[in-house]
Amino acid sequence: MRAAAYVIHTRPFQDSKILLDVLTLEQGLMRGVWRLPKKEARVIPGPFLCYEIEYSGRSDLKTIKSIESVKAALSLEGLPLYAALYAHELLEKLLPLNLPLPDVFSLYQWLIDSLHSGLPIAPLLRRFEVGLFSELGVAINMVSTGRGEVIEANQMYQFHYKFGLRPYHGEIPKQPPMLFVEGQVALNYHAGKWTDKQVLSLAKELHRHWLDSILNGKAIESRRLLPQQPFQGERHLGVPMFRAL
């Protein structure tokens, strides 16, 4: 069988063999064993380059028979490189093996191309995370409350991981929310207005907690490579609050 693939992770396996985790258009995230070529031509397949692979096997661990590049590699360095490594770690931790998710493949291609073009990194990563959440069935609902009520632009809401948005009228919540957000900011987030500073700030805080919840607190090591800046905006009851500017 053949598949278009990007190398997400490599590690040694046995003498002259390595394990390749590849994101494929046809099979989703796939793990395979690849025998390295002879020493004089030994080059480990690199990231950010689309390959065509030939593989076989019915178990979760495939045998990769051949791997050939189909276009020139994209060179990433500095923050774009760290952002791509962060995306790789999310794919490794969140995607099940051998589940076809063609839209995730397209989303990854879009991210790598966009990082190479020099676009601002933060909006790219937030859009990538939103797309990944959606494809995995864990999308964040910012267009209606947990009870299905339409969001009102001027209403303040509290957001809980389990319950979603709830109208907030100044009471002390029984459980501290993840954050407080004004309806207009929530609607702008839903509309993908990533040039809005409040939307971008909301997404950064929201996605960080969302990922921690999905991963049960399992660390995302590549976060340390990206700029770290604690939330410095408005807080209410010690919790970040986002109002329309």
Smallest Cα–Cα separation from 62: which of 113, 9, 20, 24?
20
> Whole-angstrom Cα distance, residue 188 to residue 178?
18
Residue 220 tokens read as 């995302």
Spatial contact of 5 and 27, defined as CB atoms under 8 Å apart: no
Say if 102 falls within a structural domain: no
Q: What is the CATH number of the domain that holds 18?
A: 2.40.50.140
Tell me the C-alpha distance between 140 and 133, whole Å.
Answer: 7
Residue 85 lies in a domain: no
pLDDT in tens, 175-188: 999 999 999 999 99
DSSP 45-71: PPSS-EEEEEEE-SSSEEEEEEEEESS
**pLDDT at residue 43 above 70?**
no
With both helix axes pointing from N to C terminus, report the angle between 79-94 and 102-116 in degrees, rounded to the nearest 10.
170
User: Smallest Cα–Cα separation from 128: which of 156, 96, 94?
Assistant: 94
Domains contained in the chain, number: 2
Confidence band for 45, pLDDT divided at 50, 70 and 90: confident
Which of 50, 69, 88 is the endpoint of a domain? 69
pTM of the complete model: 0.93
Q: Is residue 57 included in any domain, yes or no?
A: yes
Structural domain of residue 190, as residue ranges? Answer: 156-242
Give the model confidence (pLDDT) of 76-96 as tens digits: 999 999 999 999 999 999 999
Residue 211 falls inside a structural domain? yes
- Give the pLDDT confidence of 106-155 residue by residue, as tens digits: 999 999 999 999 999 999 999 999 999 999 999 999 999 999 999 999 99
Average pLDDT, the chain: 93
Domain boundary among 19, 45, 69: 69
CB contact at 8 A, 38 and 64: no
Place of tokens 């029984």: 174
> Do the beta carbons of residue 93 and residue 216 sit within 8 Å?
no
In a domain, 11, yes or no: yes
Taking only Cα atoms into account, the Rg of the chain, rounded to an integer number of angstroms, comes to 21
Domain boundary among 26, 51, 69: 69
Q: Answer for the pair 154, 183: CB distance below 8 angstroms, yes or no.
A: yes
Sign of CA dihedral 155, 159, 164, 169: negative
Coil/strand/helix, residue 36: coil
Strands 239-242 and 179-182: parallel
